[in-house]
Amino acid sequence: MNKSPTWLLDFKSDTYSQTGEDGIIKKILEIIPQNDKWCVDFGAWDGLYLSNTRNLIEAKCYSAILIEGNKIKFAELQKNYAQNKNVITINRFVGFENENNLDQILKMTPIQNDFDFLSIDIDGNDYHVWKAMSDYNPKIVCIEFNPTIPTEIEFISVHLNSFL
């Protein structure tokens, strides 16, 4: 049976996510052979608003590492998960250099190298941050993008230090 390249869109639903990610993630997790019930979200905001991981944490009892760089939003994130012993909150900016990449941050946590789900939502250097990760191999990755850029344009945000 040939499936349409967009067949997963049939499973779109939002509990906390923005554009159907909750339902799509649920369907993919049903298909992959093994789940370890760990997720990572950076650019986590308050951990609730338009979150791609909140439904996993709440409905599927996932353990999570939620990373937010903004100190004000991080305070909200900490407050929202203070009672959940399965959630680790981290106040850091995730970069793409050796000292601040996701590998360096995650190695200080108990997460396995092949955890279930990674959500990247930092509105900028998403590509470079993803490319800098090499020690971890999540089963599912959601990288948010800027919908104002037409799909026929190949766009990769460039960091100025890349050229220095």
C-alpha distances (whole Å) from 109 to each of 2, 52, 122, 123, 131 are 41, 20, 21, 25, 21
Q: Which of 37-46, 97-106, 123-132, 152-161 has the lowest mean pLDDT?
A: 152-161
Distance separating alpha carbons of residues 103 and 120, to the nearest angstrom = 14
CB 56 within 8 A of CB 39: yes
Q: 81 or 149, which is more confident?
A: 81
Please determine, for residue 161, whether its predicted confidence score (pLDDT) is greater than 60.
no
- Please write the tens of the pLDDT for every residue from 85-108: 999 999 999 988 888 999 999 999
Q: Which CATH superfamily is domain 36-144 in?
A: Vaccinia Virus protein VP39 (3.40.50.150)
Q: pLDDT band for position 162 (50/70/90)? A: very low
Please determine, for residue 27, whether its predicted confidence score (pLDDT) is greater than 60.
yes
Look at residue 163 in the predicted model and tell me its pLDDT: 43
CB 37 within 8 A of CB 116: yes
* For the chain, percent of residues with pLDDT exceeding 90: 71
Nearest to 142, CA basis, from 121, 119, 123, 124: 119
Please determine, for residue 160, whether its predicted confidence score (pLDDT) is greater than 60.
no
SS3 call for 68: coil
Look at residue 157 in the predicted model and tell me its pLDDT: 61
Domain segments of the chain as ranges:
36-144
Q: pLDDT band for position 158 (50/70/90)? A: low
Mean pLDDT, rounded, for 53-62: 97
What strands, in cross-sheet order, belong to the sheet with 140-143? 87-90, 63-67, 38-42, 117-120, 140-143
Name the DSSP class of 2. P
Please determine, for residue 164, whether its predicted confidence score (pLDDT) is greater than 90.
no
Angle CA(142)–CA(92)–CA(63) in degrees, nearest 5? 55
